[in-house]
Structure 1
Amino acid sequence: MKLDKDIIKARLKDCLGLDSRASKIVVVGLGATGISVARFLMDLGFEFVVADSREHVVSEQLREELAAIEIVTGKFDEALFSQATHLIVSPGVALTEKAIAAAISKGVEVVGDIDLFVCSVNAPIIAITGSNGKSTVTTMVGEMASAAGIKVGVGGNLGIPALDLLKQPAELYVLELSSFQLERTRHLNALAATVLNVSADHLDRHTSVADYAEQKQRVFMGSEVMVINVDYPIVAAMQEQGRSTITFSIINKADFYIAENAGIEYLMHGEKPLLALSELPLEGRHNAANALAALALGVAAGFDEQAMCKVLKHFKGLEHRMQRVAEIGGVIWVNDSKATNIGACVAALQGYQHKVILIAGGDAKGADMNELVPAVKAKAKGVVIMGKDAALIEQAIDGCVPVYKAENMQQAVRIAASIAEVGESVLLSPACASLDQYKNYQDRGDKFVQAVLELIA
């Protein structure tokens, strides 16, 4: 049900102290989230200022849309921020930015887009976070809800910003949430929430893995059901006595787990086999974990198990996530460009029964590349490295497997093609962010696909 604007404004005032008449609001950041916040506030009749540190971020179309709003670009104005009552800070902007930190020290309130969203909906929320698998599980659960005949809004850190989901009425929201979104969220109260896993990531923004995990744990604030991956000790430790909890594991028995019967592995719920692992279209045991998480969240939301399994049997996965691109001369080429951290790369490698040629590299974001070593030793025939932190990868894996250096994706693909033999796979799973050489991970993945298809031409 869509709430009346006056009700939303009253809730914003009660929950966040945001007053359309009295509050001095600065929206910080004009990416997709910041634009969604600006549209939301404009629709409610709030007055505010928008600030972005980039000089040329505002398109002519956006400037026209925000014609009534003051937009300040360039270096953040410390005085502007400190004189505000509220900063609504986009997830892409660090709270340690000098002007923001100074404002916080003076008592200025920081609000995130998810707080605004939670105050504006009556429908239940399923909230999903983790280092890896968030988008896949979010999409799975969204498709399960649709299959159950539920009007569902799917977005957040994936695709549509949360506040833009309010344009269409929904009976349920399935949100992918990043650590940066959770860091500035005070209220969530989800019907069901999960931390899928935690591995070293974003250490350029978080002070430690423990700090990163602490932000992830905020997804459970007020949730009715906690869905916990007990394969990760740091996640298992998030369980709270007295809270309704559903566990899942691909290693040991849990509420949802994997078990073998007559030589066939099944996704299990309790003692009940739900789906043969071989019926999952997605490759890799990490995708089996994603399926278990989606099933657990669906059960928490009251979805029919048989219908959920039908969705999983036909789930084709997402682009740039273990995406099979082509088979050329008996070699399978796989695009896993979304593997922007070590944990994702390790999970991808561990899913293989045979040796692969790995293409890796980019911006390591402060991560320790030595964590790649066991998986590379066990699964890689060779590694083609590229990008800003290629030397860090080479230093870590030197002596484990042959290492080849490439200047760009086309060269990396050609080197991999010269090494790969029939029955092997070439896997782009960079273990790093992409912004050192590409617009984003999608651009990197597209360049890989293009280079692979050029091998056929």
Structure 2
Amino acid sequence: MSFDPASFKGRKAAVIGLGRSGIACARLLCRKGFKVFGTDSRPRKELAGSLSRMGRGFSWEGGRHTDRALSCAFAVKSPGLSPSLPLLQRMAQRGIPVFSELEVALAFCKAGEVIAITGTNGKTTTTALVAQIFKAGSRPGRKVRVCGNIGLPASAVALETGSKDTVVLEVSSYQLEDSRYFRPNAAALLNITADHLDHHGGMDRYLDAKARVFEDQRPEDLCVFNAGDPLTLKISRDCGSRRLFFGPKGGPAHAWVEKGMIRVSGVTRRPLSLRPPKLPGAHNLENSMAAALLALGRGVKPAAVQKAFRSFKGVEHRLEEVGVIRGLRCVNDSKATNVDSTLVALKALEDEKGRILLILGGLHKGSPYSPLRPLVAERVKGIFTIGSAARKIEEDLSGSTSIFPCGELKIAIETAFQIGSPGDLLLLSPACASFDQFKDFEDRGRRFKELVSAQVRSRLKP
């Protein structure tokens, strides 16, 4: 059963979870004439400020989930909430349909095309790059909207889109898992490694969630896959839409890297050579190939792709150069919320052997940190641990390099500046979620930049 607004006209909706996407969805439903009841387990005082201007037709509760939501005709579940939440279980028992914020938003969205990007790593950079390409190739009167797991929730832009517009979505496994029906005109599955397994209940269910990005597509739609990623290649066999692949030269690849250029074949009338964006690491070449195939597969001209590649400067919190401060080159990679992302960062910094001061830690997500050992031993001068995962990190990486338990980000940065030498690289690439000490990875990244900048001021004090 997909979400059909007409079938629920005049009925009451429950929104479970009043974070950014939940609030945006509640506002959307209120604007479309629904009465909405919101519920969140966080204290009322914490929620009151963000809910002060919701307008008529909206009521809410905080502190716990009562049975008041059971009087609603349908519910919208905010991404990230556990499917085992007792309220959701009670709704299932009563036959109350529960939809994702994403599919409710798209039901009201009039966009001419929807492009969706998912994968364990690289989603945000690829989404931003795809949007820049489509903007470069856009005709007058056509807008490109970027939303989803990046920037604004889809519900916040749904009513602002026209039939000529393109919506570019970053889509998480949480959003895909919750969506009963999701049909993007074009999609990309960048890669799959173990992540969020505590939420999904194992790797099989995580794979099932990622596969939702193409399961409702039709033969005329498009999905781009990573031919160099075994799990991605495996589940691509279940895709019934048009498939394009990027990865190693040969095999099924329609895009590959050769002599520093992205080569494309079998997509446009003639083979292409594109100069990739100036971004560090092999992973960004993969992101660029995926973006190119999505755009070219949807008819964007090669010149627009190359124009966007020339101007693209990367994304905040993804191997973001903060500057050289007191002799240390400081890099913000706060978006590295899993071990594989940190591995990618260390691989990208191949010229920094033995000079990396690495800040690791945060909220543990269930995967071991031992896969980091070889690169840590080769490239990392010292590890500075923070957050609740610190002890596990210290156990898994003991003996690979010097480890300094710091607890907090501020202490980690101060310690790194004491130990580091001019020419070293201070890297925040935590391999963990941020929620034990920060609002989100963006909050963590901004705090990192503030704290390293403060090192200049502290040095200037008499």
TM-score by length of 2: 0.88
Paired position in structure 1 for 2:460:
none
Paired position in structure 2 for 1:255:
254
Paired position in structure 2 for 1:282:
279
1:226: Cα distance to partner? 1.2
Paired position in structure 2 for 1:154:
146
1:205-284 maps to which residues of 2 (within 5 A)? 205-223=199-217, 224-240=221-237, 243-249=241-247, 254-260=253-259, 265-270=260-265, 272=271, 274-277=273-276, 280-284=277-281
Q: 2:40 aligns with which of 33, 39, 52?
A: 52
Contact 2:275/2:306 (8 A) holds in 1: no
Paired position in structure 2 for 1:4:
none
1:380: Cα distance to partner? 2.1
| 1:12 maps onto 2:5 in alignment | yes
Q: Per the alignment, in what secondary structure is the counterpart of residue 119 of structure 1?
A: helix
Q: Per the alignment, in what secondary structure is the counterpart of residue 8 of structure 2?
A: coil
For the residues of structure 1 that align with 2:25 and 2:12, how far apart are their CA atoms? 15
Note closer, same or farther for the CA distance 1:375–1:218 as it changes in structure 2 (3 Å cut).
farther
Deviation >4 Å, runs of 4+: 250-253
Q: 1:168 aligns with which of 131, 143, 160?
A: 160
For the residues of structure 1 that align with 2:422 and 2:441, how far apart are their CA atoms? 28
Q: Which moved more, 1:187-196 or 1:244-253?
A: 244-253
For the residues of structure 1 that align with 2:250 and 2:362, how far apart are their CA atoms? 34
1:269: Cα distance to partner? 1.0
- TM-superposition CA deviations, 1:64-83 (whole Å, max 9, x none): 43343221222112x33444
Q: 1:109 aligns with which of 91, 97, 103?
A: 97
For the residues of structure 2 that align with 1:273 and 1:412, how far apart are their CA atoms? 47
Q: Which moved more, 1:321-330 or 1:188-197?
A: 321-330
Q: Per the alignment, in what secondary structure is the counterpart of residue 240 of structure 1?
A: helix
| 1:131 maps onto 2:120 in alignment | yes
Note closer, same or farther for the CA distance 1:61–1:48 as it changes in structure 2 (3 Å cut).
closer
For the residues of structure 2 that align with 1:124 and 1:424, how far apart are their CA atoms? 46
Note closer, same or farther for the CA distance 1:73–1:256 as it changes in structure 2 (3 Å cut).
same
For the residues of structure 1 that align with 2:427 and 2:188, how far apart are their CA atoms? 28
Paired position in structure 1 for 2:309:
312
Q: Per the alignment, in what secondary structure is the counterpart of residue 204 of structure 1?
A: helix
For the residues of structure 2 that align with 1:304 and 1:378, how far apart are their CA atoms? 43
For the residues of structure 2 that align with 1:236 and 1:193, how far apart are their CA atoms? 15
1:55-454 maps to which residues of 2 (within 5 A)? 55-56=43-44, 57-60=46-49, 62-77=51-66, 79-122=67-110, 123-149=112-138, 150-170=142-162, 171-223=165-217, 224-240=221-237, 243-249=241-247, 254-260=253-259, 265-270=260-265, 272=271, 274-277=273-276, 280-328=277-325, 330-353=327-350, 354-355=352-353, 356-454=356-454
Contact 1:341/1:432 (8 A) holds in 2: yes
Q: Which moved more, 1:179-188 or 1:79-88?
A: 79-88
1:141: Cα distance to partner? 0.9
Paired position in structure 2 for 1:5:
none
For the residues of structure 2 that align with 1:421 and 1:273, how far apart are their CA atoms? 45
Q: Could you tell me which amino acid in structure 1 is paired with residue 245 of structure 2?
A: T
For the residues of structure 2 that align with 1:58 and 1:427, how far apart are their CA atoms? 34
Q: Could you tell me which amino acid in structure 2 is paired with residue 362 of structure 1?
A: G
Note closer, same or farther for the CA distance 1:133–1:385 as it changes in structure 2 (3 Å cut).
same
- TM-superposition CA deviations, 1:352-407 (whole Å, max 9, x none): 21222211101012222223223323432321111111111111111112211213
Contact 1:87/1:110 (8 A) holds in 2: yes
Identity in percent: 32
Q: Per the alignment, in what secondary structure is the counterpart of residue 332 of structure 1?
A: strand
Q: Per the alignment, in what secondary structure is the counterpart of residue 108 of structure 1?
A: coil
Contact 1:118/1:187 (8 A) holds in 2: no
Q: Which moved more, 1:61-70 or 1:353-362?
A: 61-70
Note closer, same or farther for the CA distance 1:329–1:54 as it changes in structure 2 (3 Å cut).
closer
Contact 2:390/2:407 (8 A) holds in 1: no
Paired position in structure 2 for 1:3:
none
1:423: Cα distance to partner? 4.0
Note closer, same or farther for the CA distance 1:65–1:407 as it changes in structure 2 (3 Å cut).
same
TM-score by length of 1: 0.89
Contact 1:125/1:172 (8 A) holds in 2: yes
Q: Could you tell me which amino acid in structure 2 is paired with residue 256 of structure 1?
A: A
Note closer, same or farther for the CA distance 1:337–1:368 as it changes in structure 2 (3 Å cut).
same
For the residues of structure 2 that align with 1:363 and 1:10, how far apart are their CA atoms? 34
Q: Per the alignment, in what secondary structure is the counterpart of residue 286 of structure 1?
A: helix
Contact 2:249/2:255 (8 A) holds in 1: no
1:121: Cα distance to partner? 2.9
Structure 2: 5+ residue runs without aligned partners?
Answer: 458-462
Q: Which moved more, 1:57-66 or 1:101-110?
A: 57-66
RMSD over aligned Cα, in angstroms?
A: 2.3
- TM-superposition CA deviations, 1:104-163 (whole Å, max 9, x none): 133221111221223223421001111221111111111111111241111011111112
Note closer, same or farther for the CA distance 1:209–1:318 as it changes in structure 2 (3 Å cut).
same
Contact 1:198/1:232 (8 A) holds in 2: yes
Q: 2:13 aligns with which of 25, 39, 53?
A: 25
Contact 2:34/2:57 (8 A) holds in 1: no
Note closer, same or farther for the CA distance 1:252–1:287 as it changes in structure 2 (3 Å cut).
farther
